């Protein structure tokens, strides 16, 4: 009888243990966003299954079911735009061609300017990126002496305007020119820089790195080192650099699974943070407030017209405060990745903008005064790289160019200048200024009867499309041909510098209106009762599945094999005759 009771108790304990494990796993699963972005392992698997396909010249201009006359009109407009760009940019195109096969980043960005089935027959002049040799105010100049208004923001570096950073670099170089690029030792400017960064971040210590990605790497390593916990939590869609350790989905080949990607603005996520004991840190990219649970918008993923942003400052502030409390209660390190938002959203970056104090903050881009840098600020107890009682147990982080004298010089000028009264006054009004400009932008779009809406978070803008369309990605080429400089993401994000005047913004708006009107007149936004965002995406999915699983084509309903060709290159700039 006693043996039976012991066996019964063992079975009960085992069942409770298993049920508890299942409950913990279910809690984690519920906290993941339902999209593939929230399921890193599955996104990697599915990415490996998807085969390349392209639309043939006969299909290229009518994948949305447009009739022959509309297809022909689009083709003619397409070729006319190609000819215009070739005439505008002969020197720039030739120079870019010389480097395109030698620089891997150029090859990547050239291939990902449009959804991939349109890539093969995209003319080379559209694939090529920018080659510029001068900036002046809010404009940049290419090798053919064409000036364009810059909407790219230099990946976020350009907060205050190119003239501002040119002077930071020049004055900073003069401060350190007697030393030159001496490395290992510190230039004495480092003390003043550290003092200023500590005051801005309201944290205790600072370390210098060569990029924002490196600063994030160090923050995460130190959080794990000091908490003795294994896992990082990132929010769905958030970008924290190209390092595998914070990019667990597509593009990551690490076998280690030590990152939880959880849903933004989710009670289930708070539940996981409140109950798990393996979480070392929560990594926040404050820009995610602009598009919670979504990746940064890119024309390469612009299949239909369902791009959207959902910025609600009050709601996101409340959300971050709740995360802050849980992190405090559970001894989880709260890290703000301010590589992009630092010194843009406010003098204290997102910490000041949302009113949240983090345990660690990473900076980059603009803080270098125009030169590359990564900076980590944190609490004393988190920044220490060794343990007093275990001298061999260290968290090593060094770099040849950490604290480079010329970077320290430009940074010093930058920090001095943004503390001046005129910049401090600018910080108080800049958000309202860009809100008013966005409202004016949308009013002009409405007056012109264009199917476009501009959304913004502070001085960061994005383009949304209000009619179903499979060709919204074409707008980037019209904009560039008419004098607007975009990043390789296209219309997904415009990063505006603070030195834009109202008159210059009005010029940008009118050039945008002109470009979109041309696109409208060229029939890219043709409509039919059967055309919906859902129908466009469904057909794209069928085509993709048909290419990946040819034996299932007749059940899937994808396009015929003759329209799904293998990857190839074309030397022609004429797609359709």
Same domain, 354 and 378: yes
Q: Using alpha carbons only, give the angle 10, 14, 16 rounded to the nearest 5 degrees.
A: 120
pLDDT of 312: 95
Has residue 343 been placed in a domain? Answer: yes
- Determine how many CB atoms are found less than 10 A away from the CB of residue 551: 8
Catalogue the long-range contacts made by 387-395 (C-beta closer than 8 Å, 24 or more residues apart).
395/221, 395/222, 395/225
Q: What is d(CA 524, CA 118) in angstroms, rounded to the nearest whole number?
A: 14
CA neighbor of 241 nearest in space, from 156, 358, 322, 142:
156
Does residue 494 contact residue 460 with C-beta atoms inside 8 Å? yes
Burial of 403 (0-12, 13-18, 19+ CB in 10 A): buried
Pair 233, 328 in one domain: yes
User: What are the E-state strand segments in 211-258?
Assistant: 231-235
DSSP tally for the chain: helices H, then strands E: 19, 18
Please tell me whether residues 63 and 124 are part of one structural domain: yes
- Answer yes or no: do 405 and 434 share one domain: no
Distance, in Å, from the CA atom of 544 to the CA atom of 538, rounded to the nearest integer, reads 10
pLDDT reported for residue 464: 97
Neighbours of 419 (CB within 10 A): 13
From residue 430, alpha-carbon distances to 24, 167, 254, 357, 505 in Å are 45, 22, 42, 22, 14
Tell me which residue range forms the domain holding 63: 54-159+424-521
Residue 168 and residue 153 share a domain: no
> Given this model, what pLDDT does residue 184 score?
86
The Cα 449–Cα 517 span in angstroms is 9
What pLDDT was estimated at residue 562?
Answer: 45
Per the DSSP assignment, residues forming a β-bridge with 209 are 374
Instruction: Give the model's pLDDT for residue 570.
Output: 46
Residue 528 placed within a domain? no
286 and 328, same domain (yes or no)? yes
CB-CB contact of 169 with 369 (8 Å): yes
Kindly report the three-state secondary structure assignment for every residue of 117-129: HHCCCCCHHHHCC
CA 145 to chain centre: 30
Q: What is the pLDDT, as a whole number, of residue 435?
A: 97
| CA 337 centroid distance within chain | 12
What local confidence, expressed as pLDDT, does residue 529 receive?
Answer: 94
Q: How far apart are the first and last CA of the chain?
A: 90
Contact between 82 and 577 under an 8 Å Cβ cutoff? The reply is: no
For residues 300 and 109, give the distance between their C-alpha atoms in angstroms, rounded to a whole number: 10
Nearest to 416 by CA among 113, 203, 172: 172
Cα atoms found within 13 Å of the Cα of residue 224, Cβ hemisphere only: 16
Q: Which pLDDT belongs to residue 163?
A: 97
| CA–CA gap between residue 68 and residue 472 (Å, rounded) | 19
Query: In this structure, are residues 294 and 37 in contact, taking their beta carbons and an 8 Å threshold?
Result: yes
Sequence-distant (≥ 6) Cβ neighbours of residue 94 within 8 angstroms:
none
Contact 513, 448 (CB under 8 A): yes
Q: Are residues 501 and 472 in the same domain?
A: yes
Amino acid 38: pLDDT: 78
Give the burial string for 189-226 (b: 16+ CB within 10 Å, else e): bbeebbebbeebbebebbbbbbbbbbbbbbbbbbbbbb
3 domain residue, yes or no = no
What is the pLDDT, as a whole number, of residue 105?
Answer: 85
CATH number where 337 lies? 3.40.640.10
- Distant-in-sequence, close-in-space partners of 303: CB < 8 Å, separation ≥ 6: 115, 470, 536, 537, 540
Same domain, residue pair 346 and 441: no
337 and 197 within one domain: yes
β-pairing verdict for 205-209 and 374-378 = antiparallel
Q: For 444, left (φ over 0), alpha (ψ -120 to 50), or beta?
A: alpha
Q: Which of 521, 545, 568 is the last residue of a domain?
A: 521
- Do residue 243 and residue 338 come from a single domain? yes
Q: What's 104's domain CATH number? A: 3.90.1150.10
d(CA 545, CA 556): 7
Specify the 3-state DSSP secondary structure of 462: strand
Looking at the 3D structure of the chain, how many domains does it have? 2
Angle between helices 189-201 and 405-418 (to 10 degrees): 50
DSSP annotation of 59 reads T
Instruction: Tell whether 433 is covered by a domain.
Output: yes
User: Does residue 549 sit within a domain?
Assistant: no
- Tokens 């049920």 belong to 19
User: Six-digit token pair at 34?
Assistant: 């339902």
Query: Does residue 330 belong to any structural domain of this protein?
Result: yes
Q: Does residue 16 belong to any structural domain of this protein?
A: no
447, 427, 571, 529: which is closest to 97 by C-alpha? Answer: 571
Q: Determine the Cα–Cα distance for residues 318 and 310; give it in Å rounded to an integer.
A: 15
Determine the Cα–Cα distance for residues 363 and 375; give it in Å rounded to an integer.
5
pTM for this model (two decimals): 0.91
Is 495 a member of any domain?
yes
Beta bridge partners of 455: 462
Does residue 470 share a domain with residue 356? no
What's the Cα-to-Cα distance from 318 to each of 220, 264, 300, 313, 334, rounded to whole Å?
24, 12, 33, 9, 15
Alpha carbon 159 to its chain centroid, in Å, reads 16
Q: Are residues 284 and 379 in the same domain?
A: yes
- Of 358, 6, 411, 525, give the one whose Cα is nearest residue 172: 411
Give the ranges where 299-396 is alpha helix by DSSP (H): 313-330, 349-354, 380-383
SS3 content of the chain, % helix, strand, coil (to 5): 50, 15, 35
Scanning 331-404, the segments in alpha helix (DSSP H) are: 349-354, 380-383
Along the 577 residues of the chain, how does pLDDT read in single tens digits?
A: 577 676 667 776 676 766 666 767 677 777 788 877 777 777 888 888 888 888 988 899 999 999 999 999 999 999 999 999 999 999 988 888 888 888 888 888 888 999 999 998 999 899 888 889 999 999 999 999 999 999 999 999 999 999 999 999 999 999 999 999 998 889 999 999 999 999 999 999 999 999 999 999 999 999 999 999 999 999 999 999 888 888 777 777 777 789 999 999 999 999 999 999 999 999 999 999 999 999 889 999 999 999 999 999 999 999 999 999 999 999 999 999 999 999 999 999 999 999 999 999 999 999 999 999 999 999 999 999 988 888 898 988 777 778 899 999 999 999 999 999 999 999 999 999 999 999 999 999 999 999 999 999 999 999 999 999 999 999 999 999 999 999 989 999 999 999 999 999 999 999 999 999 999 999 999 999 999 999 999 999 888 888 877 776 777 776 654 444 444 444 455 555 5
CA distances from 214 to 217, 218, 237 (A): 5, 6, 20
| Distance, CA of 63 to CA of 521 (rounded, Å) | 19
């Amino acid at each position: 009888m006693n043996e039976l009771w012991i066996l019964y108790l063992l079975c009960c304990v085992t069942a409770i243990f298993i049920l508890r494990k299942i409950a913990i796993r279910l809690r984690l699963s519920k906290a993941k966003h339902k999209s593939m972005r929230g399921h890193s392992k599955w996104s990697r698997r599915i990415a490996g299954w998807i085969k390349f396909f392209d639309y043939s010249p006969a299909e290229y201009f009518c994948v949305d079911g447009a009739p022959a006359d509309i297809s022909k009109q689009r083709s003619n407009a397409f070729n006319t735009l190609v000819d215009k760009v070739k005439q505008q940019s002969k020197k720039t195109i030739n120079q870019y061609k010389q480097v395109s096969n030698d620089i891997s980043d150029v090859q990547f960005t050239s291939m990902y300017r449009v959804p991939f089935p349109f890539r093969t027959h995209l003319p080379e002049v559209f694939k090529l990126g920018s080659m510029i040799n001068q900036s002046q105010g809010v404009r940049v100049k290419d090798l053919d002496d064409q000036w364009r208004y810059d909407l790219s923001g230099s990946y976020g570096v350009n907060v205050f305007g190119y003239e501002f950073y040119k002077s930071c670099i020049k004055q900073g170089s003069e401060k350190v020119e007697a030393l030159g690029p001496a490395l290992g030792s510190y230039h004495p400017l480092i003390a003043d820089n550290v003092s200023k960064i500590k005051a801005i971040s309201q944290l205790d210590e600072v370390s210098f790195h060569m990029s924002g990605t490196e600063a994030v790497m160090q923050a995460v390593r130190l959080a794990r080192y000091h908490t003795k916990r294994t896992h990082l939590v990132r929010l769905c869609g958030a970008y924290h650099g190209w390092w595998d350790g914070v990019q667990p989905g597509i593009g990551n080949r690490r076998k280690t699974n030590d990152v939880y990607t959880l849903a933004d603005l989710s009670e289930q996520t708070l539940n996981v943070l409140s109950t798990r004991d393996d979480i070392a840190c929560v990594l926040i990219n404050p820009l995610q407030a602009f598009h919670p649970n979504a990746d940064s918008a890119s024309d390469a993923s612009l299949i239909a017209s369902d791009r959207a942003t959902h910025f609600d400052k009050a709601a996101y502030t409340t959300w971050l405060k709740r995360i802050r409390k849980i992190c405090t209660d559970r001894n989880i390190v709260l890290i703000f990745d301010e590589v992009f938002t630092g010194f843009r959203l406010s003098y204290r970056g997102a910490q000041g903008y949302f009113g949240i104090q983090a345990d660690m903050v990473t900076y980059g881009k603009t803080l270098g005064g125009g030169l590359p840098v990564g900076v980590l600020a944190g609490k004393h107890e988190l920044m220490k790289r060794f343990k007093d009682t275990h001298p061999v147990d260290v968290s090593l982080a060094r770099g040849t160019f950490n604290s480079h004298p010329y970077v320290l010089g430009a940074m010093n000028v930058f920090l001095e200048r943004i503390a001046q009264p005129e910049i401090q006054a600018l910080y108080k009004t800049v958000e309202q200024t860009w809100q008013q400009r966005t409202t004016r932008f949308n009013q002009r779009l409405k007056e012109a009867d264009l199917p476009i809406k501009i959304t913004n978070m502070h001085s960061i803008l994005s383009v949304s499309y209000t009619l179903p369309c499979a060709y919204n990605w074409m707008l980037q080429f019209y904009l560039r041909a008419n004098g607007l400089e975009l990043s390789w993401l296209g219309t997904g994000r415009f990063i505006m510098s603070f030195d834009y005047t109202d008159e210059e913004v009005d010029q940008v708006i009118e050039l945008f209106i002109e470009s979109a009107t041309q696109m409208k007149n060229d029939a890219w936004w043709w409509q039919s009762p059967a055309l919906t965002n859902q129908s466009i995406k469904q057909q794209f999915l069928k085509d993709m599945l048909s290419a990946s699983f040819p034996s299932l084509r007749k059940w899937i309903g994808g396009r015929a094999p003759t329209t799904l060709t293998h990857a190839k290159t074309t030397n022609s700039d004429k797609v359709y005759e």
